[in-house]
Amino acid sequence: MHVVGSIGSLGKGQNEAGVVNVAVKTVVFTGSQNGLRIKTWARPSNGFVKGVVFEHALMRNVENPVIIDQNYCPDNENCPGQNGLRIKTWARPSNGFVKGVVFEHALMRNVENPVIIDQNYCPDNENCPGQVSGVKISQVSYSDIQGTSATQVAVKFDCSAGNPCKGIELQDVKLTYGNSTAKSSCKNVDGTISGFVAPPVAYREI
């Protein structure tokens, strides 16, 4: 007896319904590649999986008896990574800090936001509209960062007006964007640039 107990291919499209309250019970898997499997594409999506129940399952010579795979991307089929080298802080008061972070020797392949600091993170304006991040970010270094961006803005520093980013170092960064020119976006940040850096980055005075 061969039973398929797979949930997929979720996340292949940007907007899709979620999977809710699925029950797989009293099943036998024989000689299959996967048993109890939840698979989602490695793409941006609004989908979700909730309330899934697997119980009373018997495996007979199954390669992957229990598997959750959220990085499904066969043959690298248009699966841009959502973020590359990312530092994110909520736009709320805080006594926290980020200091002395080093990113080096990183290769991007069609990645959204390859280099990003986001200090104004406030999804759906949840308990943080109009506020600024209290987290202090300083001494962050990016060295030998190469590859391709899936977004035209390849380097983005969106720092807090109340606690600007300080000491952000860029050295030997080369990021391209398709057949067009990659761009950078800088807000409330200062630092240093050395070697060849593309796209060009102009720190804003703070």
Q: Which domain holds residue 43?
A: 5-74
Predicted confidence (pLDDT) per residue in 84-114, tens digit: 999 999 999 999 999 999 999 999 988 999 9
Predicted confidence (pLDDT) per residue in 118-133, tens digit: 999 988 887 787 788 9
Cα–Cα distances in angstroms (integers) from residue 165 to residues 48, 96, 99, 171, 173, in the given order: 34, 13, 10, 17, 19
Q: Are 11 and 47 in contact (CB under 8 A)?
A: yes
Asked if residue 79 is part of any domain, the answer here is: no
The answer on 174 and 129 residing in a single domain is yes
Q: pTM value?
A: 0.66
pLDDT at 206 over 70: no
Structure tokens belonging to residue 36: 């109890």
The answer on 156 and 101 residing in a single domain is yes
The answer on 135 and 57 residing in a single domain is no
The answer on 112 and 162 residing in a single domain is yes
The answer on 178 and 95 residing in a single domain is yes
Distance separating alpha carbons of residues 72 and 79, to the nearest angstrom = 9
Is the previous residue joined to 44 through a cis bond, with omega within 30 degrees of 0?
Answer: no
Predicted confidence (pLDDT) per residue in 39-84, tens digit: 888 777 778 888 989 999 999 999 999 999 887 877 766 666 778 9
Q: How many domains does the chain have?
A: 2
